Chains A and B, each alone.
Chain A
Amino acid sequence: MKCRKCGEKAAFNMPHHKLALCKEHYLEWLPEQTERTIHKYQMFNRREHVLAAISGGKDSLSLWDILWRLGYSVDGLYIGLGIDEGIQYSDESHRMSAAFAAERGLKLHVIDIQQTYGKSVPELAESTLRGDKKPCAVCGLTKRHVMNRIAREGGYDVLVTGHNLDDEAATLLSNTMNWIPGYLARQGPVLEADRPGLVRKAKPLCRFYEREMAAYALLRGIKYIYDECPFAEGTKSIYFKEILNRMEADKPGTKLNFYISYLMAKDNGLFAPHADPELEMLHTCPTCGQATTAPGECAFCRLISRVS
C-alpha cells in the first residue's frame, strides 16, 4: 500500500477515508484535521488559554502533543486517583505524564485526590453506594469536579479532553439503547459554559478513530501508559466499542457515520431543549460553587462531607 501524498510505503491505512499515508504525512495529516475540527465546532482560538485533562494514556498525551505542535497555549492537568491494584497504575500514569511535560517544557498541574480529600478514589468509592461494585462512577464524578475546579481557579477559557470517536460512538450507542434524552441532547464536541460555575469543555479528537490515535502516539514516539485501568475490564463502554468495531469491519465508516449523523440530526432539531430537563434546572452548589442538578450541595461535596 502506498502513501497517497508521496507514493512511498504507507504506514497506516484509513479505509473509511480511503486514505493511506506514510509516517511523515500521517503525522502532518492528523494535526491538520484536528485544527479543522477545532475551527468547525468553534472550540477555542490561539488567544485563549486551554487546560488539557491528562491521564497518561495515548489519547490525552497525543492531544497535548498536537495542540502544542499547533501552537496553542495549553497546560496539562493530571489527577492522581490512587489506583494501584498491584500494577501501580496511578503512579505509572503520573510518571508518564510528568515525563511528557518535562521533555517539552510544558506546565502540568498535579492534583492528588488522597492528599487533597483524605482518601483515594477506590477508598471514596468504598464509602458510598455509588461504588458498590466498581469505583468508575465515583472516579468520573471526582474527575469532572476537579477538572472544572482547576480550570476555573486557573482562569482557563476551555477544558479539553482526549475523547476520541470510538469513545463518543460508544457513549452514543449506550444512550440510544436506553433512550436517555438528557444525555442525547447534551452530547457533542463542545459543552458550553452556559451556567455559573461551569467551564467550557471541548473534545478536539472527537472525529478520530481510537486506532488512529494509537497510530499517532506510536508513530510520534509518545510514551504512554499501555496498561488498561484495572477497573476498566468488562465495562459497558468496551462492550459497545467491540460491537461497533464488528460493524466497522463489515462496513468501513460505520462509526464515523453514526456519530456525525447524530450531530447533524441534533443540529436539525432532533432533540427539543426540554429533552434535557437537568440543564433547565441547574443550581449552584453552596460549598464549591459548581453547577448541580438539585438544590443544595452537589454530589461530589456530599460525597466528601460523608467520608470526612
Chain B
Amino acid sequence: MVVKLILRSKLFEVMPGMTLRHSLEKAGVPLESVLAIRAGEMLTEDEILHEGEEIKLIAVVSGG
C-alpha cells in the first residue's frame, strides 16, 4: 500500500516509511509551496508517512 499525496486535483503516490520532506521530493512538490495535513493535523517535514495514509497538501503560493 502506498501513501497518497493529494494537491488540488493531482494525486501523487509514494512509498511508505519516508519523511514528509523526502516524500515531497520524490513527488516533485517543493516543500516551501505547500502545507501537509494528515487527519486534520498539520505535519512538520520530519514526520514519517505510513502505509495507506492520505495526506492533503494545501498550496500556499498565490499570485497577483
Contacts and interface: CB of A to CB of B under 8 A. Distances in A.
Contact of B60 (A210, A235, A246): A210
Contact of B41 (A11, A209, A233, A241): A11
Contacts of A13: 44-46
Contacts of A213: 60
Contact of B63 (A209, A219, A235): A235
A177 interface: no
A74 interface: no
B32 to A, nearest CB: 4
Contacts of B45: 13
Interface residues of B, number: 19
Contact of A232 (B30, B42, B62): B62
B31 interface: yes
Nearest to A241: B61
Interface in B16-64: 30-33, 35, 37, 41-42, 44-47, 58-64
Given A136-B64, A246-B30, A214 B35 contact: yes
Most chain A CB within 10 A, of B33, B59, B63, is at B63
A211 B35 contact: yes
Interface residues of A, number: 35
A20 B43 CA distance: 11
Interface in A2-48: 10-13, 20, 23
Interface in A195-213: 209-211, 213
Nearest to A12: B42
A141 B59 CA distance: 27
Interface string A241-257: 11001101100000000
A1 B42 contact: no
A48 B58 CA distance: 36
B30 to A, nearest CB: 5
A229 B58 CA distance: 16
Interface of B: 30-33, 35, 37, 41-42, 44-47, 58-64
Given A11-B44, A226-B59, 7 more contacts: A23-B42, A58-B60, A166-B61, A229-B63, A232-B64, A245-B61, A246-B30
Interface of A: 1, 10-13, 20, 23, 57-59, 136, 139, 166, 209-211, 213-215, 218-219, 226, 228-229, 232-233, 235, 237-238, 241-242, 245-246, 248-249
